[in-house]
Structure 1
Amino acid sequence: MATDLSNGPDSTLISSGKEKEAPGPSRLELLPAELVYSILSYLSPYDLAAVSGTSRTLFTRATADHLWQALIQENVPGVRVKSPSPCPSFRALYIAHDPRWFLPKYKIWFSDGDLTGRLIIARFDPRRGCIEGYQLVAASRSRTSHPWTADPDVMIHNFDPVVQLHLDKPIIQLDAIDPTESQDFGPETQSYGGGITTIKLRRDRSRGSSPSSPPSRLASEIPMQNGSDSMYSTFILSRLLSPSEISSRCFEPFPYGSIWPPPTIPSSQRVLGACLHHFQQQLLKPESRPSCRSNLSDMTFRIRKWLTMRVPENDDNTSVRNYFSTISNLIPVDLDVDEDNVPLRLHIGEEIATYATLDPKLYTPTKEKPWRGIWVGDYSGHGCEFLLVTQPDDDIPFDSEAIQPREGESPEEFEQRRYEETVYRGRLDAIKLSGDPNVPRGEVTFRVGDLGDKGLVRVCEDEPFEGVRMVRSEGHVASTGFVLGKSSSDIGVLKRGEKADMIPTFIWDGMIDSFIESQLLLISHDRLAQYWIDWGHISFFERVDIDRFLTPA
């Protein structure tokens, strides 16, 4: 005998054997539209997309264009986005660049390419709806020098930098296109417009995907236009390293197990870098690319670029085969001539660079940490280089209100003393964002152990530094070729001029890299000078206003 559930606890689900009635509208749907929009404005784009799939009413609410305009604006500092052009809606524009909106959001990106690296500014151009990135370059208008009145043997190198974007050659150029129209690169051959097929030349033929298994959207390479017929570049998302992988690599000597950003720069995310071109092909493997959003790094990315060269050929392709036979002794080459006689090009000179950004807290100055920021410095024959100047947070928060006036102290004297005790305290580190063959990108260029009384040398009384505070610092120097080596303590090397409180660093193939005695002059919150005592010269550093480069001209 069948049990009657119509009067039981499940009567709302089963009644007289009839099917469940369609549920009515949710409470959220019954709210006024203005309240629903207000609630939805707090959601992330992924949650907003999920809500849009629940009902027809919420689809209409969650796809409202003003919600997606606000989401775009959150990722585009310095520019007011008023139009979704060239897309039909702001939602379509967001989808076109998803998940790459972190590029303009974080603005500043620095690479591990060679020893010099590169600093770029990423921004959104609302006129074309594209994300673009240009290299930040600098040059000094003055290369003169003059003796220091306090010590005529010391030369002061004048520094008047001009900082600008290299607009003729974009590093990033991501147009707003329908993602379904983007090309995914095959395992061994890549095609571009104009009937050109490129064949890769490399020792490791491994790819981020197999021919039978096309890469996911997150793992795919995105081709970028750079205005050159022979140079190609692609944008690649990167995969996060696990905490255990980071820990095992951070304690290795330079280049620190090929992680980027390096341990000198605080970061919540690190990925595998190119290791000075030694392991570039490893970055093309599936394990180096994200498989889902949870292991996608939104604070790093990679750019892969290469040159192509047209191969001469005739009707029977004899010259093509001869050409490949000539170079096959150096690089293994597969020859695959297209049946449609599409002209072939060699894929050569491949380079992969990994870029990382900075936590805005590191370069945003505060009342207590006024020298935090992005700076440009004079490095003599190496030209201008960009630095991150950091002032770490105090272990114990400093309370300036605890400073009280002393007996007989005037209000002016008290304010000056409170200012000095608030500002002149703690450490200061300057880390290269772009480097040179001696001290590369990602390395400390100078550091101050204490800006306060413990590090004070004197207050200058001579022009042009009259009234300027001078503190003890250490400058990083090295011979050409700052590459793999051993700890100097392992081989018992005593550096010239080394002091007990100076930290031994590394020796590179007999070339010593060390921190030498120097002094930092705190001219203002926007200008510093470094006195290199052993070298007998003073060089300058100036703050860079990054935000002035965010608006396309």
Structure 2
Amino acid sequence: MADNTSSLVQLPAELVLDIFAYLEPLDLASVAFTCKTLSTHSYDDRIWQPLINRNLSDPISEPAPLKTFRELFIAHHPYWFLAKRRLWFSDGEHQGKLVAARYEPKTGCIAAYTVAAQRGRHTLEYWEKDREVVIHSFNPKVMLDLGKPVLKLAVDGAKTDDQPDNEPSDRAYALASKYSKEILMETAAEAGLYSSFMLCRTLPESGIHDGTAIWPPLRLPTPTRVRNDTSNGYQSSGHRPTRLNEVSEYHWRLRKWVEFNGRRATPRIIELMSLRSGLPAALGMAGPYFAANLRSSAAGGMGIKMPEDVTTFASLPTECFTPTPQKPWQGLWCGDYSGHGCEFLVILQPDKKDELALPSTMHWLKQWFRAGRRGSESSGSSYSSAQEDLSAQIASPSNTNGSSPASAQEEQSTSAHIADEPADEDLLNLSELPPHQPPTHSPAQQTQPTEPHAVLQGFTEMPYQRTVEEVTDYDNVPTGRLEAIKLTGDPNIPRGEYTWIAPDIGHGGFLRVADEGNFRGARVVRSAGHIAGRGFREDQYTPSQLIMVSHDRLAQFWEGFGHISYYQRVDLDALLRYTG
């Protein structure tokens, strides 16, 4: 009689475990149903421990408080991606929020805490190059707010709340499953304040069009995106996954609401209650939504549920926060934004193939950026800065004849058309501009840039002369673009927007090598700072200078504002180990 026993079963246990080490958790679960022998092997903790540790910054050696690593993995499945991605930033209006998630071995929970920063002792000094320019000191202390976890998933079983089954709109809701249910969390010390966690469903690329409300915006290089606009409290199948392969590992949502028990929650009562005062406003929850789907977690009666706040969190690939020899400035940074306080941003050094088109509001700076391609000037030349480039523009013949800025711009546009100048999009393609070399023609032959936005007028003169050493660039310099994107924001420039861009940190964008005490030896390159009115109105880019102090510290000279502010790299490993 032929032996039908699988050859896999006949292998030594050590070889079987080596084979199983290549399987994913769901595959191991499938193997466990085949036969008793393979089922026994699939339970071995030597397989499950690495499956957990691959999601953690600091590997663990014990499964406590549970007995086995397999039990621990199952307890937090499918939420291990929270600890794996580590940093999460929200779409909260204007400011947003940055949180750091980690697994805590002592309690066995996955928790996320708000990342905060203290500016440190603040002093002012004047810049040697211009006594009207102020330098703000900046030595931030970055920490986690351990007193108020934003997210906390306990290991002893999650409390979930089913979808409603008695409302006319039920047919639009996602099918009830492990992945569509919300998890009630105990994260708030205030009585009556509740929060819940929910998974997100990835939005297909075919569903992303101009005007689609998504998080994060396309300028941030995350592999997946989700919609962050809803008319039904994010309950529909378009927002919630029903199967594991629909779960986005780069997104999750947090729902917060205030609830008073003992009274029946009717739409009319909610409508009559003030949404902009009292406890909800004090908790920053004066939003327009009503948590109709979550029943009271307290015993006895139904409850009034005040307006809810739903926040979508997203993360970026690990490499975005990891500097490399080729991309030494990439990572998480903390910036000084004066009256707005400390803000967090990610600095990216995209590969040429991944670079997006520069914002259209930077177009008026295109000639200034091109000036760097014309090379350094001699030691007898005046300081080459945005102020002088713009001063030359204002002093152009079209303006000296008494014409208005608008008519001057029209004349420049007409002459550019006659001369068959390249289109704006070609001018912004810096890679196709001539390489760094000495100028071969006089400034009078150079095309003047377009007139700047009115908000950028009023630059000061910088008449001092530059030395040969100052205008001579190093031989071996970095190349490419630096993009600084806010992860937390303020009422002027909100989260998810560029805060500044240096289109070319190589020879093409070179201005000088600093010889002043604060920045001696640092390369200074052309950049564009993003400014706007309150509420992100009339946003515009202004000429600025990026002072590349080190791979862990940068400074930005905001020319129009007359001040220099610092940016400091955040030690992500130290942040995740923060204990207070």
TM-score normalised by length of structure 1: 0.75
CA apart distance, 1:208: 9.1
Of 83, 86, 91, which aligns to 1:104?
Answer: 83
Q: What's the offset of the Cα at 1:42?
A: 1.0
1:21-52 Cα shifts (integer Å, max 9, x gaps): 9x732111111000111111111111111111
Change (3 A) 1:325 1:430: closer
1:129 to 108, 119, 122: 108
1:154 aligns with 2:133: yes
Cross-structure match for 1:350: 308
Is 1:273 the counterpart of 2:250? The answer is no
Aligned-partner Cα distance in 2 for 1:333–1:469:
54
1:53 to 1:515, Cα distance in 2 relative to 1, 3 A? same
Which of 147, 159, 164 matches 1:187?
Answer: 164
Aligned residue number for residue 34 of structure 1:
14
Structure 1 pair 261–214 and aligned structure 2 pair: CA distance change class (3 A): closer
Shift of 1:175: 0.5
What's the RMSD between the two structures over aligned residues?
3.0
Q: Is 1:216 the equivalent of 2:181?
A: no
Three-state SS of the structure 2 residue aligned to 1:524 is: coil
Q: 1:50–1:333: structure 2 CA closer, same or farther, 3 Å change rule?
A: closer
- 2:60 is matched with which residue? 81
2:41 alignment partner, one of 61, 67, 82: 61
Kindly state the Cα deviation for residue 344 of structure 1 after the two structures are TM-superposed. Answer: 4.1
The residue that corresponds to 1:469 in the other structure is 523
Contact 1:207 1:286 in 2 (8 A): no
Give the secondary-structure state (helix, strand or coil) at the position aligned to 1:281.
Answer: coil
Give the corresponding residue for 2:198: 236
2:56, 2:84 within 8 Å by CA — same for their partners in 1? yes
Q: What letter is aligned with 1:237?
A: L
Q: Structure 1 pair 527/333, CA: closer, same or farther in 2 (3 Å)?
A: closer
**Residue correspondence of structure 1 range 530-541 to structure 2 within 5 A:** 530-541=556-567
- Once the two structures are TM-superposed, the CA of residue 178 in structure 1 deviates from its matched residue by 3.9
Task: State the 1:422 CA deviation.
Answer: 5.3
Tell me, yes or no, if structure 1 residue 294 matches structure 2 residue 245: yes
Q: Map Cα deviations across residues 184-241 of structure 1 (whole Å, 9 max, x no partner).
A: 334289xxxxxxxxxxxxxx9956986xx97100100011111433111111100011
Opposite residue 117 of structure 1, the aligned amino acid is G
Find 1:379's aligned residue among 312, 326, 337: 337
In structure 2, what is the Cα distance between the partners aligned to 1:168 and 1:122?
Answer: 14
Equivalence for 2:123: 144
Give the CA deviation at 1:540: 0.2
Q: Contact (CA 8 Å) 2:163, 2:181: kept in 1 or not?
A: no
Q: Which moved more, 1:158-167 or 1:359-368?
A: 359-368
TM-superposed CA distance for 1:280, in Å, is: 6.1
Instruction: Tell me, in whole angstroms, the C-alpha distance in 2 between the residues paired with 1:460 and 1:333.
Output: 57
Letter in 2 for 1:267: T
- The separation in 2 between residues aligned to 1:333 and 1:41, in whole angstroms, is 44
Alignment pair present for 1:172 and 2:151: yes
Greater alpha carbon shift after TM alignment, 470-479 vs 285-294: 285-294
CA contact (8 A) 2:477 2:507 kept: no
The answer on whether the counterparts of 1:432 and 1:442 sit within 8 Å (CA) in structure 2 is: yes
Q: For the residues of structure 1 that align with 2:291 and 2:518, how far apart are their CA atoms?
A: 63
Larger CA deviation: 432-441 vs 23-32: 23-32
Q: Tell me by how many angstroms 1:343 deviates.
A: 4.5
SS across alignment from 1:156: strand
CA drift of 1:126 comes to 0.8
Q: What is the distance in 2 between the residues matched to 1:208 and 1:453?
A: 60
Q: Normalized per residue, which structure has more helix?
A: 2
3-state SS of paired residue (1:86): coil
SS of 1:285's equivalent in the other structure is coil
Shift of the alpha carbon at 1:552?
Answer: 6.2
Q: Secondary structure at the match of 1:529?
A: strand
User: Taking structure 1 as reference, are residues 167 and 207 closer, same or farther at Cα in structure 2, changes over 3 Å only?
Assistant: farther
Match of 1:51 among 20, 25, 31: 31
- Secondary structure at the counterpart of residue 389 of structure 1: strand
- Aligned partner of 1:521 in structure 2 is 547
Q: In structure 2, what is the Cα distance between the partners aligned to 1:118 and 1:453? A: 37
Structure-2 change in CA distance of 1:205 and 1:540 (3 Å): farther
Aligned CA distance change for structure 1 residues 45 and 333 (closer, same or farther; 3 Å): closer
Q: Take 1:105 and 1:324, find their aligned partners in 2: how far apart are those partners?
A: 43
**Matched position secondary structure for 1:454:** helix
What are the Cα deviations for residues 297-349 of structure 1, in whole angstroms up to 9, with x where unaligned? Answer: 111111111111345x7xxx9xx99x949828999999xx99x9925431113
In 2, the alpha carbon distance for the partners of 1:428 and 1:286 equals 38
Q: Which amino acid aligns with 1:478?
A: A
Q: Relative to structure 1, is the Cα distance of residues 214 and 244 closer, same or farther in structure 2, using a 3 angstrom cutoff?
A: closer
Name the aligned partner's letter for residue 140 of structure 1.
Answer: R
Identity, in percent, stands at 40
In structure 2, relative to structure 1, the CA distance for the partners of 1:260 and 1:333 (3 Å cut) is: closer
Q: CA deviation at 1:421?
A: 5.5
1:108-119 paired onto structure 2 within 5 Å = 108-119=87-98
1:442-497 alpha-carbon deviations (Å, 9 max, x no partner): 10000001111111111111121121111000000000112xxxxxxxxxxxxxxx
- Structure 1 unmatched runs, 5+: 1-11, 13-20, 190-203, 397-418, 483-510
Shift of 1:72: 0.5
Aligned in 2, Cα 1:463/1:333: closer, same or farther, shift over 3 Å? closer
Aligned counterparts of 1:123 and 1:177: Cα–Cα separation in 2 = 17
Identify the residue that residue 279 of structure 2 maps to in structure 1.
Answer: none
Give the letter aligned to residue 108 of structure 2: G
Distance, in Å, in 2 between the alignment partners of 1:85 and 1:272 is: 38
Q: Deviation at 1:66?
A: 1.8
How many residues get paired?
Answer: 444
Q: Which residue of 1 aligns with 2:386?
A: none
Q: Which residue pairs with 1:327 in the alignment?
A: 272
Q: Closer, same or farther in 2 for the Cα pair 1:205/1:360, shift >3 Å?
A: farther
